[in-house]
Amino acid sequence: MRFFKYIDKISEWTGILTAWLIILLTAVIVNEVVCRYIFNAPTGWVYDTSWMLYSALFALGGAYTLLHKRHIRIDILYDLLSPRGKAVYDTVYYLIIFLPVMALMIRESIRFATAAWLTAEKLSTTIWFFPAAPIKTVIPVAFFLLGLQGLAEFIRNLIAAKTGKRYGT
């Protein structure tokens, strides 16, 4: 199905592009170490920048992680199930827990980000006072991408529960 290919490709590319943030984060931290310990001139912006980069890296990598089945799962009982039993379990999980939670989180995080844009909210964790809206906008984008990949997983598992064969990854 093309549906799976498109969503999987979005999740794959988002994960690959997001992974490059680690290089930027490393450069920011190295800059701070050099400024602070070699030149005795600490910066006022690295703390905010580093947590924003790490947050974006962590949040935007969620769909990629779901695509590659790398989220944490307690497998004690799950591993006892047959492939079809796992598909039924996962279908119920995505339908009852995952997708409704994603819908709620998308809705609420859009409100959260919108308020930051409308009020020109500034972050006050340091003297930098960076605008809060850009990093708060990452939150609904990340939940949307995770929800989209979750929808693909739900449909895959629904097909597997009915047919006994998993479609796609």
Calculate what percentage of the chain has a pLDDT beyond 90.
84
Q: Angle at the Cα of 112 (from 155 to 19), degrees rounded to 5? A: 60
Confidence band, pLDDT 50/70/90 cuts, at residue 164: confident
C-alpha–C-alpha distance, residues 122 and 138, integer Å: 16
Q: What pLDDT is attached to residue 127?
A: 82
169 domain residue, yes or no: no
Torsion of CA 72, 14, 45, 50, to 10 degrees: 20
Structure tokens at 93: 């999980």
49 domain residue, yes or no: yes
Mean pLDDT for the stretch of residues 103-111: 98
For residue 169, pLDDT beyond 60: no
Q: How many CB atoms lie within 10 A of CB 11?
A: 23
C-alpha–C-alpha distance, residues 169 and 8, integer Å: 9
31 domain residue, yes or no: yes
168 domain residue, yes or no: no
Number of domains within the chain: 1
43 domain residue, yes or no: yes
What is the domain extent for residue 96? 2-163
52 domain residue, yes or no: yes
Confidence band, pLDDT 50/70/90 cuts, at residue 166: confident
The residue type of 158 is L
28 domain residue, yes or no: yes
Look up residue 122 and give its DSSP letter. Answer: B
Mean pLDDT for the stretch of residues 98-125: 96
